[in-house]
A and B are shown apart, each in its own frame.
Chain A
Amino acid sequence: MSATTDRGMAERGMGFGLRALNRLAGSDLLDRIRMRKQVERALFQSTKQGFRSATAASRSFKAASKLGRPARQPRAKSSGLFDVTPDDEQAMLQEAVGAFAAEQVRPVALKADADRETSKELLDHASELGVTILGVPEDLGGVMPERSAVTSVLVSEALAHGDMGIAYAILAPGAVATAISLWGDADQEATYLPAFTGEDVPAAALAMLEPRPLFDPLKLDTKARKDGDDWVLDGVKSLVPRAKDCELFVVAAEAEDVGPALFILESSTSGLSVEDEPAMGLRAATTGRLLLEGARVPGTAIMCEGDRDAYNECIQRARIAWCALAVGTSQAVLDYVIPYVNERTAFGEPISNRQAVAFAVSDIGIETGGMRLATYRAASRADRGDDFAREAAIARKLCADKGMRIGSDGVQLLGGHGFIKEHPVERWYRDLRAAGVMEGALLV
């Protein structure tokens, strides 16, 4: 069967109307002629085309006042002593964000998940707390005097205790601000950072993940080829937060003769479009795909001239950020199941009197503790300028494996109740799978 016929079937399929579509689906004719798969795929593709839309119109990003050289947050000085206590400033921020998560995030999490949307008010409120500019140097309007991966981790963890999907939506612009602060040149910083430190923080996303099995951020399918002075990008990015609202993207692409690199793209760039990509979890972040089809940007759009260390650091910082979310959500599971198993009775006593139940709770506590410390360690090494590839990989492995197990056990401990949306554990189950899937998208 030729491709032309395939498309023809699909086009007709779109016009069938529901009843006709249903009849086609129910017909064993398709199975007999062995073309069910092809028809289904063609229908899926053309339906997708139907929902494809242009990217949001971007504001005009113009360099206001330019510094001679890029501003950077200085390294944090360490006393050299082992310490698990956040400093006073971090503790205050942690408490403020924790209160916000408990009072404003958790109560709306169910609705945000169902609506696949985080409200504008909530996003605005969160950016008032400064959570999206933790990585911006003070000279450029930032709030943190020193490198602050640990602070970002603490804040992300606290937010995710409220809800991972909403945390993703809230923190996503911060990833772009942090990327530009860490690896942008003076022009890029001057052009883009003021928008993030102002009142109306733009939706923005760091787009690295691609839709294919065994995605490897070092082997990107998205390509950037040189054309004169410009770069031209082609590819598809997956699970981009609030893709349709984004005004600015930092996109990872395999740059011709350079290797994997980060590019800054304004949403008004021609050749960009987005399509909806709902997923198992993280639904409050309205995830979508970013499609790049001959997206042309000036030569200055590449960051760090494609420096490999910077790109690797981006991978690592993103992994730490996802770990922080997984830690926060795992802690939420623990805090939720404890009162539940203590109050729920079966066979005449609380189910927590049984070792099978109690030990599952112990394991959630133990593994959450391990995940948290591994994440903190990776972040603190990043702040001090030490190599942290290994620590980030280890934290990711823990959060992917143990975090998912915790998500699963959270549902299991509630039994049938865990499976219905009256309780948040089913959502945490869906969200925690993201910790092992996501690459890029957030940064500490």
Chain B
Amino acid sequence: MINLETPKKFGPLVSQAHQVATEVFRPISRKYDVAEHEYPKELDMLASLIDGMNEGSDIGGAGAAGVRRDDKDQNGENRNGSNLSTVLGIIELCWGDVGLLLSMPRQGLGNSAIASVATEEQLEQYGGKWAAMAITEPEAGSDSASIRTTAELDGDEYVLNGEKIYVTSGERADLVVVWASLDRSKGRAAIKSFIVERSNPGMKLDRLEHKLGIRASDTAAFILEDCRVPKEALLGSPEVDVKAGFGGAMQTFDNTRPLVAGMAIGVARASLDETRMRLTEAGVELDYNTPALSQSAAAARFLEMEADYEAARLLTLQAAWMADNGKPNSLQASMAKAKAGRMCVDVSLGCVEICGSLGYGENDLLEKWARDAKILDIFEGTQQIQLLVVARQLLGKSSADLK
């Protein structure tokens, strides 16, 4: 039966996450925006708390703990599982602060990758550690198939060489999941991901970036120089299956795109909530029964933004729900990410405009959210890449046809 409300059983999780956002994130939000690269030590205690939440319950915790597709036969029973609960948690936490969520110990994208594709042995070995993800290179952003970092098998070890940038939590994490090619002549099929200990002497921190937004989150650049990792550090299958192509490495993204979309939803709602409050203070009423054009321009604009927000939110929940129910969701995941990414930028910037100097000034957080928003339309696949993925699926095109 069609029901698009937040499931009751996730009520406690959502409210816990909201508490964290309100009590932990918001009070230090501006502090770590200003003090870029400083470690938000307040998060350590919180991270332990969340680890406890992950272990103690089947509702998956509040952060990017990893999302496994559930392919179990459910006899047609509808399921609301960890994909949905994780998205819901993320929305709340990012309502608090997306930069801080990205800085949450042991909640990195690398954790997601490990949780999504690791073997039982790997889970055992690396579980409980904080893992960052290193994909992008100076010459390969969206085109992740063209990465130049190489991995060569030498006895029982792989030897990694190359340069990685834009590694979220790269300085603070315990592990970095590095994408590298086993054979550059074999294209995307040869790209595999490797778990590298942060302490590995072959992986050197080159610098931390200064950014437009999400300044609480450290963004690192690494140089890999004869970086040796054990054979068992490879995630997934070591086979170079040209036919299977990129599927293995990209599988993580089908599961994480809705999570990043969720971040955008959270930031947008923060902006909308604040703006609604400011408008009410300013005496601007919003009535849902009165046509938008018969209300004030600000109210009409607000409704328009709220509508876009709601469309993005529902697309995101749908994509997560599909993953919970073992339905292929690559199309919906990209749709959600595309819509949420652009919505978040439009909405947060629109809110700054509506609130004027209150929105633009640093006394309030609206301007910060508008800066944070932009990355959400870029990382985990830019707007344009999502539109490509969507178009290829809708039109039945290969990446050779539709470049």
**Does B20 count as interface, using CB distance less than 8 angstroms?**
no
CA distance A391 to B293 in the complex (A): 17
CA distance A328 to B226 in the complex (A): 58
Q: How far is the CB of B215 from chain A (nearest CB, A)?
A: 30
Q: How far is the CB of A409 from chain B (nearest CB, A)?
A: 13
* Interface residue from B84, B303, B338 paired with A82 (Cβ < 8 Å): B84
**Does B307 count as interface, using CB distance less than 8 angstroms?**
yes
* Interface residue from A81, A87, A362, A381 paired with B394 (Cβ < 8 Å): A362
CA distance A179 to B47 in the complex (A): 54
Interface centre among B294, B392, B394, B403 (most CB of A within 10 A): B394
Residue of A nearest to B306 (CB): A394
Interface readout for B1-20 with A: 1 if CB under 8 Å, 0 if not? 11111111100000000000
**Does B160 count as interface, using CB distance less than 8 angstroms?**
no
Interface readout for A350-391 with B: 1 if CB under 8 Å, 0 if not? 101101001101110111011101101101110010100111
* Interface residue from A338, A352, A365, A395 paired with B390 (Cβ < 8 Å): A365
Residue of B nearest to A84 (CB): B318
**Does A123 count as interface, using CB distance less than 8 angstroms?**
no
Please state if A358 and B303 are interface contacts (CB–CB under 8 Å). no
**Does B212 count as interface, using CB distance less than 8 angstroms?**
no
**Does B45 count as interface, using CB distance less than 8 angstroms?**
no
Known A84-B321, A373-B311, A390-B288: A401·B304 in contact at CB below 8 Å = yes
B interface residues, how many (CB within 8 angstroms): 52
In the complex, chain B residues whose CB is within 8 Å of the CB of A215 = 291
**Does B75 count as interface, using CB distance less than 8 angstroms?**
no
Please state if B80 and A81 are interface contacts (CB–CB under 8 Å). yes
Q: Which of A25-33, A72-80, A185-193 sits within the interface?
A: A72-80
**Does B314 count as interface, using CB distance less than 8 angstroms?**
yes
In the complex, chain A residues whose CB is within 8 Å of the CB of B288 = 389-390, 392-393
**Does B395 count as interface, using CB distance less than 8 angstroms?**
yes
Please state if B2 and A352 are interface contacts (CB–CB under 8 Å). no
Please state if B1 and A397 are interface contacts (CB–CB under 8 Å). no
CA distance A148 to B118 in the complex (A): 45
**Does B312 count as interface, using CB distance less than 8 angstroms?**
yes
* Interface residue from B3, B6, B9, B307 paired with A78 (Cβ < 8 Å): B3
Q: How far is the CB of B128 from chain A (nearest CB, A)?
A: 30
In the complex, chain A residues whose CB is within 8 Å of the CB of B395 = 338, 341-342, 352, 358, 361
**Does B298 count as interface, using CB distance less than 8 angstroms?**
no
Known A216-B290, A316-B289: A376·B339 in contact at CB below 8 Å = no
CA distance A397 to B80 in the complex (A): 29
Known A370-B339, A374-B311: A355·B3 in contact at CB below 8 Å = no
CA distance A240 to B285 in the complex (A): 32
Q: How far is the CB of A425 from chain B (nearest CB, A)?
A: 17
Q: How far is the CB of A37 from chain B (nearest CB, A)?
A: 26
Residue of A nearest to B395 (CB): A352
CA distance A350 to B398 in the complex (A): 13
Known A374-B310, A401-B304: A358·B388 in contact at CB below 8 Å = yes
CA distance A369 to B310 in the complex (A): 12
**Does A150 count as interface, using CB distance less than 8 angstroms?**
yes
Residue of A nearest to B390 (CB): A362
In the complex, chain B residues whose CB is within 8 Å of the CB of A334 = 394
In the complex, chain B residues whose CB is within 8 Å of the CB of A217 = 289, 291
In the complex, chain A residues whose CB is within 8 Å of the CB of B303 = 393-394, 397
In the complex, chain B residues whose CB is within 8 Å of the CB of A87 = 1-2
Residue of A nearest to B303 (CB): A397
CA distance A341 to B396 in the complex (A): 12
**Does A412 count as interface, using CB distance less than 8 angstroms?**
no
Please state if A359 and B311 are interface contacts (CB–CB under 8 Å). no
**Does B292 count as interface, using CB distance less than 8 angstroms?**
yes
**Does B277 count as interface, using CB distance less than 8 angstroms?**
no
CA distance A359 to B397 in the complex (A): 13
Interface readout for B376-403 with A: 1 if CB under 8 Å, 0 if not? 0000000010111011101111000111
In the complex, chain B residues whose CB is within 8 Å of the CB of A390 = 288
**Does A93 count as interface, using CB distance less than 8 angstroms?**
no
* Interface residue from A216, A350, A380, A439 paired with B4 (Cβ < 8 Å): A380
**Does A195 count as interface, using CB distance less than 8 angstroms?**
no
Known A352-B395, A373-B311, A394-B306: A78·B290 in contact at CB below 8 Å = no
Please state if B397 and A353 are interface contacts (CB–CB under 8 Å). yes
Interface readout for A303-334 with B: 1 if CB under 8 Å, 0 if not? 00000000010011000000000000000001
In the complex, chain B residues whose CB is within 8 Å of the CB of A398 = 307-308, 310-311
* Interface residue from A79, A369, A374, A386 paired with B307 (Cβ < 8 Å): A374
In the complex, chain B residues whose CB is within 8 Å of the CB of A361 = 391, 394-395
CA distance A293 to B16 in the complex (A): 60
Interface readout for B357-368 with A: 1 if CB under 8 Å, 0 if not? 000000000000
**Does B332 count as interface, using CB distance less than 8 angstroms?**
yes
Q: How far is the CB of B116 from chain A (nearest CB, A)?
A: 21
**Does B315 count as interface, using CB distance less than 8 angstroms?**
yes
**Does A422 count as interface, using CB distance less than 8 angstroms?**
no
Please state if B2 and A83 are interface contacts (CB–CB under 8 Å). yes
In the complex, chain B residues whose CB is within 8 Å of the CB of A371 = 311
* Interface residue from A78, A315, A366, A395 paired with B1 (Cβ < 8 Å): A78
Residue of A nearest to B88 (CB): A82
Known A312-B289, A363-B387: A81·B315 in contact at CB below 8 Å = no
**Does B78 count as interface, using CB distance less than 8 angstroms?**
yes
Interface readout for B274-292 with A: 1 if CB under 8 Å, 0 if not? 0000000000000011111
Known A83-B78, A394-B306: A352·B335 in contact at CB below 8 Å = no
- A281-321 residues with Cβ-Cβ distance < 8 A to B are 312, 315-316
Please state if A358 and B317 are interface contacts (CB–CB under 8 Å). no
CA distance A214 to B303 in the complex (A): 17
* Interface residue from A83, A355, A374 paired with B314 (Cβ < 8 Å): A374
In the complex, chain B residues whose CB is within 8 Å of the CB of A352 = 391, 395, 397, 401-402
In the complex, chain A residues whose CB is within 8 Å of the CB of B293 = 214
Pairs A-B, 4 closest by C-beta atoms: A370-B311, A373-B314, A358-B391, A393-B288
**Could you list some 26 contacts between A and B, CB below 8 A?**
A79-B1, A82-B317, A83-B2, A84-B4, A85-B2, A216-B291, A217-B291, A334-B394, A341-B395, A353-B403, A355-B388, A358-B392, A362-B388, A363-B387, A366-B315, A369-B332, A370-B308, A374-B311, A374-B314, A376-B4, A377-B314, A380-B2, A381-B5, A391-B310, A394-B310, A439-B291
